[in-house]
Chains A and B, each alone.
Chain A
Amino acid sequence: KAGVTQTPRYLIKTRGQQVTLSCSPISGHRSVSWYQQTPGQGLQFLFEYFSETQRNKGNFPGRFSGRQFSNSRSEMNVSTLELGDSALYLCASSSKWWTAGGETQYFGPGTRLLVL
């Protein structure tokens, strides 16, 4: 079974631009969660999607948005990039809505975004 894939793996953008990151969950998994990791703020939860609906959300401004498609693939978008958005963005998949059950999460390798 293929694992969680994230594309692209590395990305360089400039301030003010927008970026879209993609996450393909493990086949059959319907929950996708996104996380941001920076040296300063550490690991932070962005949001979780299950069956195309956002179920949970962290404390991020509206510039951070996401969506999930009918095949469970998810995209995360950041508009008007700031230097502080430079981070490793991780996504994870699980078969059940993460807070509704005790299923294991599986993480992708992450997308490293650098904002100049």
Chain B
Amino acid sequence: AQKVTQAQTEISVVEKEDVTLDCVYETRDTTYYLFWYKQPPSGELVFLIRRNSFDEQNEISGRYSWNFQKSTSSFNFTITASQVVDSAVYFCALSETTNYGQNFVFGPGTRLSVLP
């Protein structure tokens, strides 16, 4: 079965620091998708990025960047110059091919606290 590991349960940083959230996955699929989601204290989930297994290019979106390395089965997420509004739980997820199409396996999440 597919597995997603987010080893960092909680991280605290001071505003303006850079922070990297780790995501390591296990899969037997040759084609798969990786995702990051954000869940702020309000509870509403926010989709951040989707990456397919054929696209190993790093992605940058404003202060956010993602580093996908197939060789180490990692899909890490970096926030540059963190802000208090970045405080949230961040989930990494992986698609899994099943007899019913695709399933999506989530990691346990990393709680990020950005202190002013």
Binding site for B on A (CB under 8 A): 35, 42-45, 48, 55-59, 88, 90, 92, 98-99, 102, 104-110
Contact = CB atoms under 8 A, between A and B. Distances in A.
Given A43-B91, A99-B33, A102-B50, A107 B104 contact: no
A45 B95 CA distance: 10
26 contacts: A35-B45, A42-B106, A42-B107, A42-B108, A43-B93, A43-B106, A45-B104, A45-B105, A45-B106, A48-B101, A55-B102, A56-B100, A57-B100, A57-B101, A58-B104, A90-B45, A98-B102, A99-B95, A99-B101, A99-B102, A104-B47, A105-B47, A107-B44, A107-B47, A109-B43, A110-B44
B103 A56 contact: yes
Interface string B86-102: 00000101010010111
A58 B103 contact: yes
Contacts of A42: 106-109
B84 interface: no
A43 B30 CA distance: 24
Prevailing SS type, chain B contact patch: strand
A59 B108 CA distance: 17
Contacts, number: 55
Contacts of A58: 103-104
Nearest to B35: A105
Contacts of A59: 98, 103
Interface residues of B, number: 23
A44 B109 CA distance: 12
A92 B50 CA distance: 15
Interface in B31-77: 33, 37, 43-47, 50, 52
Contacts of B107: 42
Given A45-B106, A108-B44, A110-B44, 13 more contacts: A43-B37, A43-B91, A43-B106, A45-B105, A55-B101, A55-B102, A56-B100, A56-B102, A56-B104, A57-B98, A98-B102, A107-B44, A107-B47
Nearest to A44: B106
A108 B109 CA distance: 19
